[in-house]
A and B are shown apart, each in its own frame.
Chain A
Amino acid sequence: MPPTDVLNPSYYHRVVDCQWACPAHTNVPEYIRLIAQGRYSDAYLLNRESNVFPGILGRTCDRPCEPACRRTRVDGKPVAICRLKRVAADLRDDIRPRLPRAPSQKNGRRIACVGCGPASLTVANDLLPLGYEVVIYEKLSQPGGLMRTNIPAFRLPVEVLDEEINYILDMGVDLRLGTPVESMKWLLQQGYDAIFVGSGAPKGKDLNLPGRYDSDKVYIGIEWLEAVHFGHVERIEERVLIIGVGNTAMDCCRTARRLGGRDVKVMARRTRPYFKASPWELEDAEEEGVQIVENHAPSRFVVEHGRLTGMEFEVLQWYEEGGRQKSRTVDKVIVPCDAVILAIGQDNAFPWIERDIGIQFNEWDMPIVDRQTMQCSLPGVFFGGDAAWGPENIIWAVAHGHQAAISIHNHCQGIPLTQRPPQRMTLTSTKMGFHEWSYSNAYSPAQRAKMIHVDLSERFQRLNIEVETGFTPEQTASEVERCLNCDVQTHFTAPLCIECDACIDICPVDCLTLTTDGPEEQLRLRLTVPARNLKQPLYVSSPLKQTGRVMVKDEDLCLHCGLCAERCPTAAWDMRKFNLLIPYAGHE
């Protein structure tokens, strides 16, 4: 194999599994270390740089980082990355003086954003400090998008939401609430230098089955949650069926439990491993007495004398055929109920974008948007968040917002959009002395801390009682030590190695091998323990001077304990802290 090019920032970046998996590439291990040191404000601000809404995300993030976390492969459970983020947010001081500020001298450029969800807010956050004027048009009377109208207050307190949204608005956003954009043509004529569309995927999917319109007790999930948020709905019937088992379904069933629903069932077509909702969401719902029913496909609303009395389902059996999951109907049942909430997904809808103004739509009636630049076919118009490629989540909306802001800045400066500021890195030795490193390199065998929930009886009293209480100081202290510091890289200097085997012998998880070079497939099988996880890279050195063999490291399970570097007599291995310098709008 060719020697690994570790000076390309993406190699070490990939080793930091969580940061690599995070759409916004949050520097997780660094903020966890800051929390460990009690530097909550610093941890908060570091988070904010990349993910903009640490307090919100510390409660609600979809956390793609956690399934990726190396700790999962070591002891079965990831570091509680997300809830540690909340610790930083909860315990921070007033950080307002440290926030970026918009200059009083503007740069003369005006940007319009459609919708005030996390995507548009991120664009505003990145562009205001550069002197842009940002106008946000929002259809509703409150800013925040689905974060406010759909994520229930028992998961996300409104104060947390307000605080973080206001950090951005207070920089001087020209926010126009209750002002839907009804025509893109019109917007294009308003003389903006660029337009960002962050209007989300606002349409809940309907289910056109017999009986659908014979009762008014059939609700569309996201509309119903929005109505609950605005206080238009305060009660629900006793027996409720939720159709679908995604994130929306989870919020619907738990909200229904708080509004009078006693017998709440989530009806799923498939079996548990295929559910869209995360395991922790399912757990939380079941804890609240929601029943999750597998293998039931809805076929008919049962309406008797104008009253909804139940719903008919086909009971499915799943089997595999030609590598694909197929189903057959084995039974039909009627499940009695008084109300049904449809939570089977969201659609985009752009009725306000004329189709003759140069914005091309594809066969699914979605705008054609460039994955890198976020620009559509009409120069100067950018999309992001759920509006770009369909429903995702907050952290993706933020990531899109950052990229769109870079593009908008380039666009306004006349720089080609594809000429993006590069990622850079710094790599600094953490060696402090003979056996001293500037990070906590000892492996902690602690188990993942379990979030404490408010008592069931108490939490149903009001809709906005936050269920999760946050980590106790003891839980935080233990959880931070579970992080393996994957950003502290094992960095190898081949000419120094005398091939004494010390590092190989000491490595607790058998990452290292000295062997003759060969093609990757062969090399992987020849290691001290074969490297079967193909998602994880091999680090291969240049040939060593005594025998011409190569040092190979399987990154998969490395604990970043630094024992290899401590054992190395020549400092061929060193533990170096990798810091990814992520470019934002305005960076060179």
Chain B
Amino acid sequence: MTYLPKPKVHHPDLPRNALGLTRRDYEGSLSTLCAGCGHDSVTAALILAFFELDIPPHRVAKLSGIGCSSKTPTYFLREAHGFNGVHGRMPALATGVSAARRDLWLVGISGDGDSLSIGLGQFCHAIRRRVRMVYILENNGVYGLTKGQFSASADIGSKSKKGEPNQQAPIDPVLLALSLGATFVARGFSGDKEQLVPILKAAFRHHGFAFVDVISPCVTFNDHEGSTKSYQYTRDHYKPVVHADFVPTHQEIVAHSEEGGVLDIRLHDGSVLRLRRTERDYDPTSRDAAYAYVRRHQDQGEVVTGILYIDSSPSEMHALSGTVETPLAQIPYEQLCPGGAALDQLMDSFR
């Protein structure tokens, strides 16, 4: 944490995006997290992703629960909408915002405690409901904010700062999301923005529920020797399988050979997601294959990262419920709630 605000000056050569903004225009207020916290790097990656996607900051809604991770929406996009809710309830908020304002970009930030302990039920149902959002789980294996108790993502045998090993089996949010039918599942690492930023950009382009688990070390309570969520451990067991390059709609798609492990996926809006696989036969479009692969490598102690599964024509909440295109919040009240007589009429039709 610093007491000095980051000065407003920036490098004169800083690139500007289609909106004429620099990356600095996507920042938020000063972070109060510990110096070196992985969550701050995820924030930096999000800033880059929003900037590179030319997303207007005021068209974004940031939602979160409780935890160090859940504090981070304050640290990016100071012009965006935001709601910092109660512990584990971010998915409920997101569902509501999505229902009322389907025209906004939604980003939910959560932690392993927030999503896998108190909020596990909420997390599962947001996936089932297919809320169109980017759901980021900043995963550090501990409850950082409450001083480092093991969370539900801690591996068996991973040691606490005082040296005690964790004995309970972990919940792997990637496997959970896959099994519950999430249409975009990825894992990144806060210490590798080269991989993380393209993942986030792809997630924002996904027309459905996009889940991104980010290994994000807690530098204060879980970065010691014996921890399986430290910077060093993650780097030693890091296995990127699918890199993403995002090709925007207006750019010509250059032909490629399957040889290099390249796979193009056409997205909902006509743009193309170009995946480069480090393992030739990894198939990120097969849920079963992805599940099996991640399981297998987890047993070998490897942290598999990349865009692990993607459904290129996903369905999402509004399509499922047949809602109108206009955001509900923008429909005149009389129309949205036509009154007692209309209700009676409706009820009658069910008799």
Interface residues of A (CB under 8 A from B): 73-75, 435, 441-443, 445, 498-502, 504-506, 508-510, 529-530, 532, 546-547, 557, 559, 561-563, 566-570
Contact = CB atoms under 8 A, between A and B. Distances in A.
Contacts of A498: 36, 219, 223, 231-232
A504 B48 CA distance: 13
B9 A508 contact: yes
B269 interface: no
SS of B interface (majority): loop
B40 A502 contact: yes
Contacts of B193: 501
B6 A445 contact: no
Contacts of A563: 2, 4, 6
Closest 5 CB pairs of A and B: A569-B36, A443-B7, A505-B44, A500-B36, A566-B2
B237 interface: no
Nearest to A528: B11
Contacts of B36: 498, 500, 502, 567-570
Interface of B: 1-4, 6-14, 24, 34-38, 40-41, 43-44, 190-191, 193, 217, 219-220, 223, 231-232, 235
A584 to B, nearest CB: 38
Contacts of A506: 2, 6, 40
Which of B12, B24, B37 has the largest count of A CB atoms less than 10 A from its CB?
B12
B7 A561 contact: yes
A446 to B, nearest CB: 12
A8 B138 CA distance: 43
27 contacts: A73-B12, A75-B9, A435-B1, A435-B3, A442-B4, A443-B7, A443-B9, A445-B7, A445-B9, A498-B223, A499-B231, A500-B190, A502-B35, A506-B2, A508-B8, A508-B9, A546-B232, A547-B235, A562-B4, A563-B2, A563-B4, A566-B4, A567-B2, A567-B35, A568-B35, A569-B34, A569-B219
Given A505-B41, A566-B4, 4 more contacts: A499-B191, A508-B6, A562-B4, A570-B36
Nearest to B4: A442
Nearest to A443: B7
A442 to B, nearest CB: 6
Nearest to B43: A505
A500 B34 CA distance: 12
A500 B44 CA distance: 12
Given A502-B36, A508-B9, A529 B235 contact: no
B50 to A, nearest CB: 15
Which of B11, B14, B34, B37 has the largest count of A CB atoms less than 10 A from its CB?
B11
A546 B235 CA distance: 7
Contacts of B220: 569
B319 to A, nearest CB: 37
A493 to B, nearest CB: 15
A505 B6 CA distance: 11
A284 B1 CA distance: 48
A500 B6 contact: no
Contacts of B13: 529-530, 532
Contacts of A443: 7, 9
B231 A500 contact: yes
Given A498-B232, A501-B193, A563-B6, A510 B34 contact: no
A347 B10 CA distance: 47
Contacts of A445: 7-9
A518 to B, nearest CB: 16
Contacts of B2: 435, 506, 563, 566-567
Which of A532, A547, A559 has the largest count of B CB atoms less than 10 A from its CB?
A547
B191 A529 contact: no
B35 A509 contact: no
Nearest to B47: A505
Contacts of A501: 41, 44, 190-191, 193
Contact of B9 (A74, A500, A547): A74
A456 to B, nearest CB: 37
A308 B174 CA distance: 94
Contacts of B6: 506, 508, 563
Given A441-B4, A442-B4, A569-B219, A557 B35 contact: no
Contacts of A504: 44
Contacts of A435: 1-4
A509 B231 contact: no
A268 B225 CA distance: 73
Contacts of B217: 500
Which of B13, B36, B231 has the largest count of A CB atoms less than 10 A from its CB?
B36
Contacts of B191: 499-501
B25 to A, nearest CB: 13
A431 to B, nearest CB: 13
Given A499-B191, A500-B191, A502-B35, A510 B14 contact: yes
A505 B31 CA distance: 11
Contacts of B231: 498-500, 546
Nearest to B48: A505
Contacts of A569: 34-36, 219-220
A441 B6 CA distance: 11
Contacts of B37: 500, 502
Contacts of B38: 500
A523 B112 CA distance: 37
A395 to B, nearest CB: 30
Nearest to B24: A508
B239 to A, nearest CB: 15
A143 to B, nearest CB: 47
Contacts of A502: 35-37, 40-41
A566 B5 CA distance: 12
B4 A557 contact: no
Nearest to A567: B35
A442 B8 CA distance: 11
Contacts of A529: 11, 13-14
A546 B217 CA distance: 14
Contacts of A532: 13
Which of A500, A504, A510, A563 has the largest count of B CB atoms less than 10 A from its CB?
A500
Contacts of B9: 74-75, 443, 445, 508-509, 559
Contacts of A566: 2, 4, 35
Nearest to A506: B6
Nearest to B193: A501
B11 A557 contact: yes
Contacts of B11: 509-510, 529, 557
Contacts of B190: 500-501
Contacts of B34: 569
A561 B4 contact: yes
A525 to B, nearest CB: 12
Nearest to A566: B2
A263 B224 CA distance: 79
A74 B12 CA distance: 8
A567 B41 CA distance: 12
Nearest to A554: B11
A357 to B, nearest CB: 57
Contacts of A499: 191, 231, 235
A498 B232 CA distance: 8
